[in-house]
Amino acid sequence: MEPQLDTTNLFLGIMAAVSVLQALVLIGAGIAGFMAYRKVMALVNTLEEQHVAPAMGRVNAILDDVKGVSAKVKEEADRVDHAIHTTIDRVDDTVDRVRWNMRAKTSRIVGIVRGARVAIESMLGHAA
């Protein structure tokens, strides 16, 4: 009995054809993927040039303005703080001067009142 290889050869031919077809499909998918990648990258670059870059420029300008305003506010706050401390120091000095002057002027009156009280008590003490 002689082996019949016709069926085996037919299946081998079909498998070879399918393998070639698979290779072509894989090559086509790779090329299609590469083309899609190039289109997406071109779209991303266009989007970045037209939208992201101008927006970043505006954002950076706004941040620069905010930085300038915050620096100015800090300077003004420091100036106001210095003015408040200076005013408080002056008020403290004025209070100390007024207190000293009042004590100096009232100490004479207090001395006179105490002297009068002692004199009255001593007179009343001798009279009893």
The per-residue pLDDT for 2 is 65
pTM for this model (two decimals):
0.46
Q: Is 1 helix (H, G, I), strand (E, B) or coil?
A: coil
Task: Give the pLDDT confidence of 93-112 residue by residue, as tens digits.
Answer: 999 998 888 888 788 888 88
Q: Domain map of the chain by residue range?
A: 29-98
Query: Nearest to residue 45, comparing CAs of 57, 33, 53?
Result: 53
pLDDT band at 126 (very low <50, low <70, confident <90, very high): low
The per-residue pLDDT for 33 is 96
* 73: its two tokens: 């506010």
- Residue 18, pLDDT > 80, answer yes
